[in-house]
Every structure is written in C-alpha cells, then in structure tokens.
Amino acid sequence: MLRVYLVDDEPLAVERLERLLAEFREVSVAGSTTDPAAALEFLSRERVDAVFLDIQMPGMNGFELLARLGEQPLVIFTTAYDEYALRAFEVNSIDFLLKPIDPRQLARAVGKLERLRGGARPDWMRHPELASFLKDLAATLRPEAPARPERITSKVGERVFLIDLVNVTHFFARDKLTYAVSGGKSYPVDQTIAELERRLDPRLVNLDWVGEVHARFGGQPVAILKDGARTELAVSRDRASALRERLAI
C-alpha cells in the first residue's frame, strides 16, 4: 500500500481528496490535517510514501513546510492557482493537481507514485541546494508588508493639510482627539492612536527627533525631542523596552 499524508488548510478539500483516494485500493491515507504546523510535526517523526500538499496556506506555505523537513518526501502539490503549479513544477515535484482535483489527473499522479515506490530517490531530492531553493520559493509567497505612508492628512474646517511624516515629531491624544505635531504646531488627525500604531508599525514618536532619553524617579524613561520646545514625552512602562530596542540602548 502507498501510505500518503494530506495537507490542505481547506477542510472540504481534504475531505474530497480523501473520498477520491478511497477509490484506489493501492493507497492508504496515513493521516491528514488543515494545520501546516501539525503536518510538520507528523512528517518529522513518521515516514510516508508521499504527501499531497497544498501550496498557499496561512502561517506556513507548502514550500516553507518542505524546507523545514530534514528528509524530503515524494510530493504531489495541490493548488487552485496555475502560477503556484508552475512554481511547484520548478521544484521537480512528482506531480501537481489543480483544484478542484480531477479524478483522472489524480489517477495519473498515483500511477507516478507507484512507479517510483521502492526505487532510488530522484537526484533532485538529494540536491544540497534544494532546501535553499525551497526557502526562496516560500519567501515569494509571503504577503508583503503594506507600504508605510509618507504623509498624513489633517482637516481643519474646509482646509486639508498634507503633512509629511518625516517632519512629524510625535502624535498624542487629548480630549478624545488625536494630534500630529509638526513644525511646533499640532494638527488634528481623524485616526485613533491605536489605528496610527497599526498604520505606522508603530511610529508614534519619530526617532530622528529624539535627542535624549532620561529616566525619571522609578525608572520611567522620558524622551526629549530636538524640537525648539525640547518637548518631553513620558514613555509608558509597556513601551519602554520597545523604545530601548529601537534606539539600541
């Protein structure tokens, strides 16, 4: 029997593939999961003849999963996207199946597995650069971080100001309003402090404007800005370690 393991973050896709594989007397499903981390744990301790592996999964994509395995299994990639199938072909997988999986294409893939079972592993599976190549492919599938905005808007009456973030020394909240400080002036912005933290990753204080960091009684740090007023900003205890890390102090 061919022992296979199924990995797909879509439960319905796993169930359908299990039903299709049940038609093949020569195939035994050793297990399945929708969690790539659980798959990594299983495949690190259990030997199977092949893995039916989804490519695009949250947390850990298929290429990344393979890159973390010490020994490469025979792989049949399953994917809903042609572009990912082409990338799967680049790593010389045994086969790839586009979703929804066609029973005839599945039969073709199982036939390939049978021909390879018990034989020597293909040269590409023993190539010393395979793990590095898989890591590179995995990186191309990770979502890019959204670009940080270069300016922020402030509406005062009928006027809208475009403020370059490089000139903003810091943000603060007062009386349920949020302000951006630039050129010694405070501009109201239509975002909460929490929203700004998410957008700016977080950059509520422009480090280019921090001139000194002092410690008050009790150890609470205070950042002193290089603006004309030498503004003092008390840093909360839960943000102190992050500030020290960013300033490398």
**pLDDT tens track for 176-231:** 889 888 888 899 988 887 777 767 755 566 777 777 877 765 667 777 887 777 88
Question: Which pLDDT belongs to residue 25?
Answer: 93
Residues of the chain with CATH 2.40.50.1020: 151-247
Alpha carbon 25 to chain centroid, angstroms: 38
* Average of per-residue pLDDT values in the chain: 79
Give the containing element (helix H, strand E) for 224: strand 221-225
* pLDDT score recorded for residue 184: 84
Would the pLDDT of 143 be above 90?
A: no
pLDDT: which is higher, 21 or 190: 21
Percent of the chain residues past pLDDT 90, beyond the cut: 25
Tokens of 119: 């034989």
User: Are residues 55 and 88 in contact, defined by beta-carbon separation less than 8 angstroms?
Assistant: yes
- Tell me the mean pLDDT in the region 156-168: 85
Topology classification of domain 151-247: OB fold (Dihydrolipoamide Acetyltransferase, E2P) (2.40.50)
pLDDT at residue 19 tops 70: yes
Query: Range(s) for CATH 3.40.50.2300 in the chain?
Result: 2-141
**pLDDT over 90 at 61, yes or no:** no
Query: pTM of the prediction?
Result: 0.53
Pick the CATH number of 2-141 from 3.40.50.970, 3.30.565.10, 1.10.150.20, 3.40.50.2300: 3.40.50.2300
**What is the arithmetic mean of pLDDT over 9-38?**
94
Tens-place pLDDT, residues 30-46 = 999 999 999 999 999 99
Main-chain phi, psi angles of 239, to 5 degrees: -105, -5
Q: Quick check: 94 and 124 in contact, CB under 8 A?
A: no
Task: Band the pLDDT of 172: cuts 50, 70, 90.
Answer: confident
Q: Taking residues 115-135, what's their average pLDDT?
A: 60
pLDDT of 18 reads 96
Cα distances (angstroms) measured from residue 152 to each of 171, 181, 184: 11, 11, 16
**CA gap 11, 159 in Å, rounded:** 52
67-83: per-residue pLDDT in tens?
A: 888 888 888 988 876 66
SS (H, E, C) 152-220: EEEEECCEEEEEEHHHEEEEEEECCEEEEEECCEEEEECCCHHHHHHHHCCCCECHHHEEEEEECCCCC
For residue 66, what is the enclosing H or E element?
Answer: helix 62-67
Q: Please give the single-letter amino acid code of residue 125.
A: M
pLDDT band at 98 (very low <50, low <70, confident <90, very high): confident
| pLDDT of amino acid 82 | 64
Contact 172, 182 (CB under 8 A): no
